[in-house]
């Protein structure tokens, strides 16, 4: 009789583990702390209403992941990208949003596959002065500019041998030169370029050409030193990330947060500080 009661109790417990509200019983933690780049719209930026946290597409994705897993995920502000990486490597913060895949970081973090966001580096032109572009060779005989030369070894070598590229101090400066016709194109990332175009009121005047010069995945990574890092959590993060990517959520979040960024730039300063 007692054996039958014990068996029934075990079956009930196993069934309860499968219920959404109790799924987290299989993991170690009810709360995860994440961080990311503090000034990288539309992916992540400091919340003007709550400066201790980050908002943006990465933060919205983490909130959705937390809801799916039954765990609270908070995305907190770090003063710089270097500081954010340091906090995650040490284990003081569990998750890093927007990590590029590097051999060095594989020694301190587990990367969650797939990378649902990417950093696409593109050719920016004036809408009224666009030109046919399919391959790198189409940039020959044109005046270009960039803020940094981090476009991958193959393109950097091609550019050194074939292109006329000047280096600028900031993307704002280069977009202004582009609008004045002082350069024919600017090389920079797509989404951050869109965010700056909204800030400058140039969203209708600037155009990002396809295909990208280069593109790399931006991953969610989990610290080896996180007390919450276990096989269950890694597996569930990968499973949910795959499902959300298949549903088209990441692109939706990017577009939503581009509009959010634009609205914040248009909002009076007094309203932002209330």
Task: List pLDDT tens digits, range 70-114.
Answer: 999 999 999 999 999 999 999 999 999 999 999 999 999 999 999
Q: Are 113 and 125 in a shared domain?
A: no
140 has pLDDT over 70 = yes
Per the structure, the complete domain to which residue 170 belongs is given by: 120-215
Q: Name residues whose C-beta falls within 8 Å of residue 194's C-beta, 6 or more positions apart in sequence.
A: 42, 203, 208, 258
Distance CA 213, CA 161 (A): 16
On whether residue 190 sits in a domain, the answer given is: yes
- Strands of the sheet with 54-55, listed across from one edge: 39-40, 44-46, 54-55
* 113 and 194 together in one domain: no
Are 100 and 48 in the same domain?
yes
Nearest to 143 by CA among 128, 125, 161: 125
Q: What percent of the chain has pLDDT over 90?
A: 84
* Same domain membership, residue 182 and residue 106: no
Residue 206 lies inside a defined structural domain of this protein: yes
Instruction: Determine, yes or no, domain membership for 168.
Output: yes
Q: Is the pLDDT of residue 174 over 80?
A: yes
Q: Which pLDDT value is given to residue 154?
A: 94
- 54 is a domain residue: yes
Same domain, 55 and 140: no
User: Whole-angstrom Cα distance, residue 24 to residue 19?
Assistant: 10
> 225 and 107 in one domain?
yes
pTM of the model: 0.85
d(CA 58, CA 64): 10
Res. 216: pLDDT tops 90? yes
Q: What is the mean pLDDT of residues 58-65?
A: 97
236-246 CB burial, b ≥16 within 10 A, e <16:
bbbebbeebbe
CA distance 174 to 186: 7
**Residues 94 and 224 occupy one common structural domain:** yes
Q: For residue 270, what pLDDT band results from cuts at 50, 70 and 90?
A: very low
> 39 falls in which pLDDT band (50, 70, 90)?
very high
Report pLDDT for 61.
98
Which domain-ending residue is among 199, 215, 231?
A: 215
How many CB atoms neighbour CB 81 within 10 A?
18
Same-domain status, 131 and 260: no
CATH of the domain at 144: 3.40.190.10
* Domain assignment of residue 9, yes or no: no
**Same domain for 135 and 168?**
yes
Co-location of 163 and 185 in the same domain? yes
Q: Are residues 253 and 225 in the same domain?
A: yes
Residue 36, SS3?
A: coil
- Predicted confidence at residue 150, as pLDDT, reads 82
Provide the number of structural domains found in the chain.
2
Report the percent of the chain where pLDDT is more than 70.
Answer: 88
Decide which of 215, 244, 264 is a domain's last residue. 215
Residue 27 is predicted with a pLDDT of 63
Of 119, 64, 106, 66, the closest CA to residue 245 belongs to: 64
Handedness of CA 222, 227, 231, 233 (dihedral sign): negative
Residue 17 lies in a domain: no
Angle at the Cα of 254 from the Cα atoms of 202 and 47, rounded to 5 degrees: 85
- The answer on 221 and 173 residing in a single domain is no
């Amino acid at each position: 009789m007692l054996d039958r009661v014990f068996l029934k109790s075990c079956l009930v417990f196993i069934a309860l583990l499968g219920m959404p509200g109790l799924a987290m019983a299989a993991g170690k933690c009810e709360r995860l702390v994440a961080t990311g780049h503090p000034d990288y719209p539309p992916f992540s930026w400091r919340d003007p209403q709550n400066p201790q946290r980050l908002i943006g597409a990465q933060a919205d994705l983490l909130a959705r992941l937390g809801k799916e897993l039954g765990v609270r995920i908070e995305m907190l502000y770090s003063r710089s990208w270097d500081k954010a990486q340091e906090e995650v490597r040490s284990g003081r913060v569990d998750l890093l949003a927007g990590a590029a895949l590097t051999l060095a970081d594989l020694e301190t973090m587990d990367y969650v596959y797939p990378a649902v966001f990417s950093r696409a580096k593109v050719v920016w032109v004036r809408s009224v002065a666009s030109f046919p572009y399919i391959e790198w060779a189409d940039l020959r005989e044109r005046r270009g500019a960039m803020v940094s030369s981090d476009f991958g070894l193959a393109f950097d070598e091609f550019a050194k041998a074939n292109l006329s590229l000047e280096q600028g101090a900031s993307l704002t400066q280069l977009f202004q030169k582009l609008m004045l016709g002082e350069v024919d194109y600017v090389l920079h990332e797509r989404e951050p370029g869109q965010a700056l175009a909204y800030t400058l009121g140039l969203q209708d005047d600037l155009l990002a050409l396809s295909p990208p010069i280069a593109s790399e995945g931006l991953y969610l990574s989990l610290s080896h030193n996180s007390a919450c890092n276990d096989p269950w959590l890694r597996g569930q993060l990968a499973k949910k990330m795959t499902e959300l990517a298949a549903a088209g959520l990441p692109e939706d979040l990017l577009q939503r947060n581009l509009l959010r960024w634009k609205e914040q730039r248009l909002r009076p300063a007094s309203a932002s500080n209330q």
